[in-house]
Amino acid sequence: MLQVLNPIWLFAIGGIIIPLIIHLWNVKKGKTLKVGSISLLGESSRQSAKSLKLIDLLLLLLRCLLLIILAIILAKPIWNSINTEETKSAWILIEEENSKAIYSNFKSEIDSLDRLGYDLRYFEPNFRKIKIEDIQKGITSTKDKNEAFSYWPLLDLLNVKIPANTKAFLFTGNRLTKLGNKRAEISFPLTWKTITPTDSTNSWLENAWFQESGSIMATIATSSPAATTYSTEAFDPTIKNSRLTLNFEQGLANLHYKDTKNKNSHSLIIDTTGIKIAIYTDKFKSDANYIKAAIRAIKTYTSLKIELQEYSTKDIPSGQNIIFWLSESAIPKQISPKTKILTYENGEVKNVSTTLKLDQNTSDSEIGLYKRINIPENKPDAFIIWEDGFGNPILSQRQEKNYTKIEFYSRFNPDWNELVWGEDLPKALINIILSKNNESKIHELDNRKVSETQMLPIFTNQKKALLDKKPSNTTDLANHFWLALILIFMLERYLSFKNNLR
C-alpha cells in the first residue's frame, strides 16, 4: 500500500495547470503555402500534420508527469507491504541524532536486549534495522544528518508499522522541541527511557527596543534543560567591542550577533511599539494591585514601553499583547489577545502545606504555598511552568487557536501563597511578559527538558487493536521516483528538441 509522510505536498499536483495553459496558449497558427499545383498536396502532408500534433500532446503529458512526480517526491512516498517473516517479540529503537550518547548511557540494557535477539532499529520513519557496530561507527540511515524527526509523529507511524504482539523499548533525548504538537496514540506496550544531551545551553535574542538615550535594550533568552530564562541588557551599537550589531533593512532596525557563524545569530527586528497589558478583575481587586506593582517594577528595570490598563468590565479593546484574567468567570469569545492570556482556573480549593517551585534560575528561595485548585481528571495535558512540592502543576500553558493560554491553579494573594511578597513576583512575571514567543512554535534553540511522564503517549485499547494488526515492511520509494523523474525529463527534452527541428 502506498503511503506518503508529508501529504500536504500533494496539493502541488495542481501545478499541472501551468503546462496545460502554456500548451493551449502556444497553439501554432496555420501558414499559407503558395504552390504551383494542387497535385503537390498529397498524402504525405496530412501524415506530417498528424505526427506533429501527436508529439505536442506527448510533450504536454510528459511535462504534467514531471510536476506530479516532483510533488510525490516532496510528499515522501513509502510502500507498506505485509511481512510474512516470523517477527521478534520486541523492537529496540534508538534516536539517531544522539545514538552514541544514548548507547553509552544505556549500554548494558541495550546489549542485554540485543542478546535476546530483539530487532535493533533507528527511531526514524523507515525504522531501519541496524547493529551495535553501526552505532559505534556512527553509521546513520538518513541522507541529511541534520534532519530531525518529532517523537510523537514517529510513534503514530510506529503504531502502524510494528508487528502485532510486539513490545517497544525506546531510547531518546528529552528536549521539549522534539516532542511534536499532538500527543501520539499507540496500541502496543512501550518502555521509553531518555537522556539529557550534553550540549545543553543555548541563547538567542528574544526582544529589543530603543531607549530615549539612543542605546538599545535587548532581552536575551538563555535555555538550559532546567528552564528558559530571560534577562535584559543595554547595548550601545556605536561601541566597537559590542557583541551585537545594528543595521537597517527596508526601514526596519535589525539587531543580531556579530558572529554570523554562531548558530545563535538570528536577526531580530527592534520593537518600536511596546507592550500592551490589560488586567481584568471583579472580586480580586487586591490581586490586581500586586500584579500592577510587579509590572511597574519590570517597566522600571527594563525601560520598556509598557501600556498597562485595568478593566472592571469585559469590554477589553483588541490588540492587547497580554491579558491577566484575574477572575473565575468564563472568558468571552470576543476576547482575543495577540499572544497570551493568563487565567485564574476554577475548581475545588484545597488547603496544602508545601512550596511553590519556580524555575531554578528565577528564585532560589522557598515560596510557601497554602492553597491550590485541584486539576480535573479529564483536563488535557499542558506544559508545566511552575509546580508545587509534590510535582503537581501550579502554572501551565497550552495552545489555543490563536493565542497561548497560561493557566494558574492558585491566586496572586498572600492567603494563597507567598509569591506576592518581595522580588519573586516580578522575576516570575518577566519571563511571561518579555517572551513574545508563541508556544505553538517553540524556539528551535529551546533546550528545556521534559519529564518521561510528560512525554508518554496515550495508550489505547491494546487487545482490540492487536487483533486487527498485521506486521508490515516499509520501503522508501523516493529513489524510484527520482529515477522516473530523470528518465521522463530526458525524454521530454529529446522530443522538445526534435519538435523544434520541424
pLDDT digits (tens, 9 = 90+) for 175-222: 888 888 788 889 999 999 999 877 678 888 888 877 766 678 888 888
User: What does the pLDDT average to over 138-165?
Assistant: 74
- Please tell me whether residues 262 and 372 are part of one structural domain: no
Total domains in the chain come to: 3
pLDDT category at 48 given cuts 50, 70, 90 is very low
For 62, other C-beta atoms within 10 Å of its C-beta total: 18
pLDDT score, position 301: 81
pLDDT in tens, 236-267: 767 766 777 787 777 777 887 766 555 555 67
Domain that holds residue 460: 86-196+452-470
- Please tell me whether residues 397 and 340 are part of one structural domain: yes
The rounded radius of gyration (Å) of the Cα atoms in the chain is 31
pLDDT category at 146 given cuts 50, 70, 90 is very low
pLDDT score, position 378: 67
pLDDT score, position 212: 64
- Please tell me whether residues 265 and 287 are part of one structural domain: no
- Please tell me whether residues 163 and 210 are part of one structural domain: no
Domain with residue 396: its CATH number is 3.40.50.880
Residue 425 has pLDDT above 60, yes or no: yes
Domain boundary among 243, 269, 295: 269
pLDDT score, position 345: 93
User: What does the pLDDT average to over 151-160?
Assistant: 90
Please give the grid coordinates belonging to residue 385.
511552568
- Determine what percent of the chain is predicted with pLDDT higher than 70: 79
- Please tell me whether residues 232 and 364 are part of one structural domain: no
pLDDT score, position 259: 61
Residue 466 lies in a domain: yes
Residue 328 lies in a domain: yes
pLDDT score, position 29: 55
pLDDT category at 49 given cuts 50, 70, 90 is very low
- Please tell me whether residues 458 and 412 are part of one structural domain: no
pLDDT score, position 468: 42
Half-sphere exposure of 400 (CA within 13 A, CB side): 18
User: What does the pLDDT average to over 438-459?
Assistant: 76
Cβ neighbors of 26 (< 8 A, separation 6 or more) are none
User: What does the pLDDT average to over 386-394?
Assistant: 88
DSSP state of 332: P
Residue 45 has pLDDT above 70, yes or no: no
Residue 466 has pLDDT above 50, yes or no: no
pLDDT category at 94 given cuts 50, 70, 90 is very high
- Determine what percent of the chain is predicted with pLDDT higher than 90: 23
pLDDT score, position 181: 75
| Phi and psi based region of residue 34 (left: phi greater than 0; alpha: psi -120 to 50; beta: remaining) | beta
Residue 325 has pLDDT above 90, yes or no: yes
Residue 490 lies in a domain: no
Domain boundary among 211, 241, 269: 269
DSSP state of 197: -
Q: Which residue has the cell 526514524?
A: 124
Rounded Cα distance between 264 and 279, Å, is: 34
- For residues 343 and 406, the answer to whether their CB atoms sit within 8 Å is yes
Residues in the chain: 502
- Beta pairing partners, 449: 175
Q: Which residue has the cell 538518513?
A: 142
pLDDT score, position 439: 43
pLDDT score, position 41: 57
More confident residue, 40 or 170: 170
Which whole-number Å values give the CA distances from 31 to 28, 34, 52, 330, in the listed order?
9, 10, 14, 76
Residue 285 has pLDDT above 80, yes or no: yes
pLDDT category at 65 given cuts 50, 70, 90 is confident
More confident residue, 259 or 400: 400
Residue 122 has pLDDT above 70, yes or no: yes
- Beta pairing partners, 93: 121, 170
- Beta pairing partners, 271: 209
For 214, other C-beta atoms within 10 Å of its C-beta total: 9
pLDDT score, position 440: 45
Residue 53 lies in a domain: no
- Please tell me whether residues 102 and 246 are part of one structural domain: no
pLDDT score, position 324: 95
- Please tell me whether residues 359 and 403 are part of one structural domain: yes
Amino acid sitting at position 170: L
- Please tell me whether residues 408 and 356 are part of one structural domain: yes
Cβ neighbors of 142 (< 8 A, separation 6 or more) are 96, 124
- Please tell me whether residues 332 and 396 are part of one structural domain: yes
Residue 234 has pLDDT above 90, yes or no: no
pLDDT category at 137 given cuts 50, 70, 90 is confident
Amino acid sitting at position 465: A
More confident residue, 14 or 83: 14
- Please tell me whether residues 335 and 410 are part of one structural domain: yes
Domain boundary among 213, 236, 269: 269
Residue 493 lies in a domain: no
Residue 352 lies in a domain: yes
pLDDT in tens, 18-31: 777 776 666 555 56
Residue 41 lies in a domain: no
- Please tell me whether residues 417 and 347 are part of one structural domain: yes
Rounded Cα distance between 178 and 150, Å, is: 5
Q: Residue-wise over 413-438: b if at least 16 C-beta within 10 A, else e? A: beebbbbbeeebbbbbbbbbbbbebe
**Mean pLDDT estimate for the chain:** 80
